[in-house]
Structure 1
Amino acid sequence: MKIQERAGAGNNRVSAPAGPVGERLPSAPRERKPALAALAVLLILIGALGATVLVLRAGERVEVLKVTKDVSAGERIERTAFATVLVAEDEALGYVKADQASLMPKYVAKVDLVPGTLLIAKMLTNEKGLPAGKSAVGVALKAGQYPAGGSLKNGSTVSIYRVGAKTSSGSSAGSAGSTGGAGSNSLLVQSAKVQDVTRSSGDELVSSSSLPVSVIVDQADAAKVADAAAAGEVALVLVPATAGN
């Protein structure tokens, strides 16, 4: 009887219901990485800042004057001798801006200017006359005393020679008292600047005409050049600009 009661009691027990098939166990929450998120935000901010700087720099560009032709010291910069170009603004340099172009006729170049030079205020002066220590001497040249073909121009660098024999007065050609001029066929100025060449309607002049030329020389050389010019014994020879004063 006891065995049967125990068996019956065992049969009356209720087993625990089985869980649903295929149900997953709860997983651990994903680990967040705040450092990566902060880095992403920082990169976005840097990109925005860079774009802002580029925009601001583009707005700081100004239009200034640039030399397009050779201009010698003491010469005015004609309207055809400069153009405009955009550059980054720099107040320390003192660029001559495009809106100041109308003032250019009042100024002359203090130094020799070459094409591509950006004009700054220190390169110009409104003082009349020549650079300090310089003089302008006018010479009238005959054919053969200057380079032909129109190669002699404003701003050209030349050497000045005294040419032709100069015999003292009262002496005969064969006498012992005849002497050659001290400046005969001699170099007067190693390097001078042509300030102005006054040509006729054509590039070439007939042999009977003279070519008026103004040259800029050191004041110490002005007297001997003027003396040779008065005697018609001046010749100009083109030389490289690097051999300048």
Structure 2
Amino acid sequence: MKVRDRTGAGNQRSSGPAQHAGERLPAPVRERKPALAALAVLLILVGALGATVLVLRAGDRIKVVRLSADVPAGKAVTDDSMTSVMVADDPGIHYVPWSQKNELKKLRAKSTLVAGTIPIGEMFSDDMGLPDGKAFVGLALKEGQYPAGIKTGDEVSAYRVGADSDKDAAGANALIVRSAKVSDVVRGDNSLVGSGSLPVTLLVSSSDVEGLTQAAATGQVALVLVPSPTS
């Protein structure tokens, strides 16, 4: 009897752990992080705001005139010397709207404008844009009567040359114009600097017009570059 009791008691004791092994442990509660969620929402809002600002800024851009070629002083802008470009609209800058390009062609540049410039209204006038006491004189120069590389904006002196030209006391060619500004240089598609005939327009003092035009009529004008003060 004692042996059976012990055996039965042992069976009862061994059945306890088998029942606990089949039970599931409770799942851990997930920790919520409201700060990270708020940060994600904030980043989304910032990105959307940035995109909106870019769209608004793009909407403030306007199409204006941009010079694609040099425009000499006193000359008008042509279709070949301008193109369009988009810029940020600024009421304080008087850009020339692309829609007004035809009106711009009726005006004259007050000073020489270089290619790449985005012009503004103050750069133009409805007259020739000539300073008081100045005049434009056109020359048709042959090879040897102008320096190689002559270009708009250069400062030159004009001399009377040729067998019948007047000479000074030292026998040198007579000076006609001491200082003149090259307003325009017209080169054909096939012409090269330093060869062939070259049309040149000079901005000179009114007092030099008579002597320069007389010499130009007989082809007795030669131009010499005047060195700049820094050269």
TM class by shorter-chain length?
A: 0.5 to 0.7
Q: Measure, in 1, the Cα distance between the counterparts of 2:170 and 2:140.
A: 20
Aligned partners of 1:114, 1:22: CA distance in 2, in Å?
91
What is the CA–CA distance in structure 2 between the aligned matches of 1:183 and 1:194, rounded to whole Å? 27
> How many Å apart are 1:121 and its aligned residue?
1.5
Query: Structure 2: how far apart are the matches of 1:101 and 1:92?
Result: 20
Query: Per-residue deviation at 1:212?
Result: 7.7
* Percentage of pairs with the same residue: 36
d(CA) in 2 for partners of 1:88, 1:137: 37
Q: How does 1:179-198 map to 2 (within 5 A)?
A: 180=169, 184-186=173-175, 188-195=177-184
The letter for the 2-side match of 1:124 is F
| Equivalent residue, structure 2, for 1:57 | 57
Separation of aligned partners in 1, 2:27 and 2:198? 104
1:214 to 1:113, Cα distance in 2 relative to 1, 3 A: closer
Say if 1:139 and 1:226, in contact at 8 Å, map to a contact too.
no
**Which sections of structure 1, spanning at least 5 residues, go unmatched?**
1-14, 168-178, 204-209
Counterparts of 1:96 and 1:139, CA distance in 2: 30
Which stretches in structure 2 are left out of the alignment for 5+ residues?
A: 1-12, 192-196
Name whichever of 75-84 and 231-240 sits farther off: 231-240
SS at match of 1:95: coil
Displacement of 1:45:
0.5
Give how far 1:72 is off. 0.9
211 and 22 in structure 1: CA distance in 2 versus 1, 3 angstrom threshold:
closer
**What amino acid maps onto 2:175 in structure 1?**
S
1:160 counterpart = 2:157: yes
Number of residue-to-residue matches in the alignment: 204
Which residue identity lines up with residue 162 of structure 1 in the other structure?
A: Y
Larger radius of gyration: 1
Deviations along 1:104-146, one digit per CA (max 9) or x if unpaired, are 12211122111111122122222x1333245114366574673
Question: How much has 1:23 moved relative to structure 2?
Answer: 2.4
Distance in 2 (CA, whole Å) between partners of 1:83 and 1:60 is: 20
Q: Does the CA contact (< 8 Å) of 2:75 and 2:128 recur in 1?
A: no
Q: Does 1:131 align with 2:130?
A: yes
Partner-residue secondary structure (3-state), 2:222: strand
